[in-house]
Structure 1
């Protein structure tokens, strides 16, 4: 019987992207279960943009790290795990120090941990900074993954990403979920009178090379040149923070000067994020690599259909009519944008209702809670048998 559970991750700040949001939702799902205590251990002490009320179901242990943020060496994370004395640790994300802390904790206590890679073992990710990741893998991460008592996977595809580390441990595909959408009905802070009535194509999240943002702007430019009605009636809004794309802001400003239909609104959180989502006609993610993107589920909960690549690992969205299929090249994004623009209001309303239904039926809080509890018990049983 698992009485004490620990969750460990890089950071609880929304600036950590989808992992921090997924863990926050896991905590929400697990809070009604009969745990004596749930503790959260992060290797970054940042609480920027954090709403404390969203983490009140757990004891928070946030640690100062040393050295580069990409690794976040935080020895305090191991100490706090030992003091919390959990029966099982759920490790979210790989490549950073929370993995080493959980591995050392398990070696010292003999207790099990399960791992959620969150898409970070996908080949596109592994190919980035290969020397550093190769060193981390050889130093401890490969052993950490092979000694895991279970794996939480987001997609069928992720099963292939972890196959080399699975030696009989239980693994479960447990998809993320989105909470019910609510907005106060106010316009987003970036809305201007000249934008009212336009179809808003929203990108919301980390602005990174793998997300296809520059390719999206290239396709947007060509369609705005080719179709004057599209250029007048549409607005491309980027909400997020630039994570290393040189020239992104300059490119967005250039397109806005030419067509008046591109805006970089910066990061959006809380009510601002909900207002931006409520204003959107479509949610854009022409990504080259994803685990299971939280923001898409949030968009569907708000009734916003997606324009997504297969790499978003949400094939069900195309089957259920909640998304348009695109690639991540300008040549494949262009026809997807054109098809979305051509949709009638009645057709869009149908896609919006399909999006809401998909979020409610296939990505529910109850299914996540039951799936995690089943995985945790299976991991404890597996660890006991293999001692």
Structure 2
């Protein structure tokens, strides 16, 4: 079976999708009887990052007109000529949705849509009028004609129903490749204890209130590392906030030998591959104070390194709270401060136990090997090759 993955970007510009879609397509490709093909749009980093998809060779297409619209006639033509049996759209509100509509009209073959959190209430409220226009032009058709909707979590499935969609839904999360280290492995030491955020530096991630809380926390023995790529100048807003609050900060991109002082904040810049692994090895805890997520890869990665996680309910991994692998916070400053105070006051043994529970949770539910097999069953079903899997909700 040939499965085509259609995404607006195959580079770091895609944020978490750069890791999740890549891993899903690669692990499905490794299954007997399956072949993955990847179709995407060109951006500033696609030529550099395409090699990370090996052994897959994504077909990357130029955009015609405004880049934000993602319209690509060559993508449409390539999909029609691809001989794919099933397509799986990753993300919505872009020209890729229009291209899949075109493929479906021409080929009359089934496709799935994974909105990747883009139907959640916060996401719908952001640039609402643009999404209403896109919905009328092409997105509502794309969603309504899908043979199956792919939700990453229960709350995303509820958001799909709230949007008015009546399609079958499969709830299959993102996954993780377990690192070579495990809970109990000796960590590298960096002096200060390290709280880490890894991800896109964007207002929806909740870093403003997190840093306001950090400025009021008794931070003895700790530093806060923010590793990620800036979007829309938000990083400078965070730096200005820290300066005004009197919290010391450094930017490692100015001098890679500089590190934050006790109680300070360190802006690390984008981090990938071995550099990110090294950062997670020296970290002591992870935070994601987000307003909206699909299912964040960064949290799963933190757990895979045995780290305790501080996160909001909007990260959509309630299993983490149920397993006592995470400290729950709200998105407001006071709630985040309370969660951080809980973290820094815990004995070292208790902190390690929280992280170990997170690692076990990932092993039990969130490995790509498990997830790719579930996804393959759905592909076979929508293609008419097998009976409906139990995971499908009508």
TM-score between both structures, scaled by the size of structure 1: 0.89
Q: Distance in 2 between matches of 1:265 and 1:127?
A: 30
Residue 392 of structure 2: aligned partner: none
Residue aligning to 2:257: none
Q: What residue is the counterpart of 1:148 in the other structure?
A: 146
Contact 1:182 1:274 (8 Å CA) reproduced: no
Q: How does 1:225-240 map to 2 (within 5 A)?
A: 227=218, 230=219, 232-240=220-228
TM-score by length of 2: 0.87
Q: Which position in structure 2 is the counterpart of 1:255?
A: 247
Aligned length: 368
Q: Secondary structure at the match of 1:255?
A: coil
Q: Is the 8 A contact 1:203 1:237 kept in 2?
A: yes
2:227 and 2:345 mapped to 1: Cα distance? 24
Residue 29 of structure 2 contacts residue 35 of structure 2 at CA under 8 Å; is this kept in 1?
no
- Which of these residues, 86, 109, 123, is aligned with residue 111 of structure 1? 109
1:214 matches 2:208: yes
Cα distance in structure 1, aligned partners of 2:55 and 2:102: 26
Give me the whole-angstrom Cα distance separating, in 2, the residues matched to 1:130 and 1:251: 28
In structure 2, the gaps of 5 or more residues are 250-260, 389-394
**1:199 and 2:193 aligned:** yes
CA offsets per residue over residues 180-211 of structure 1, 9 Å max, x none?
Answer: 1247x9x99xxxxxx93211010100011111
Q: Which residue of 1 aligns with 2:75?
A: 77
**Residues 101, 263 of structure 1: alpha-carbon distance in 2 compared, 3 angstrom cutoff:** same
Q: 1:311 aligns with which of 293, 311, 314?
A: 314
Q: Which one is further off, 21-30 or 201-210? A: 21-30
Q: C-alpha displacement at 1:149, in angstroms?
A: 0.7
CA distance in 2, matches of 1:49, 1:360: 34
Question: How far does residue 71 in structure 1 lie from its aligned partner after superposition?
Answer: 2.2
Q: Aligned match of 1:297 in 272, 279, 300?
A: 300
User: Matches of 2:308 and 2:336 in 1, distance apart?
Assistant: 15
Partner of 2:2: 4
**Aligned mates of 2:47, 2:302 — CA distance in 1:** 20
Higher helix share: 1
> Aligned residue for 1:285?
288
CA distance in 2, matches of 1:341, 1:50: 40
Q: 2:365, 2:358 → 1: CA distance?
A: 11
Please tell me whether residue 373 in structure 1 is matched to residue 376 in structure 2.
yes
**Separation (CA, whole Å) in 2 of partners of 1:48 and 1:144:** 25
Structure 1, gaps ≥5 residues long: 189-194
What are the superposed Cα offsets for residues 24-55 of structure 1, whole Å, 9 maximum, x if unpaired? 11023202223463210002254459555542
Give 1:26-45 correspondences, 5 Å limit. 26-35=24-33, 37-45=35-43
- 8 Å CA contact retained: 1:37, 1:58: no
Per the TM alignment, residue 174 of structure 1 is displaced from its structure 2 partner at its CA by 0.5
1:353 corresponds to:
356
How much is the aligned-residue C-alpha RMSD, in angstroms? Answer: 2.5
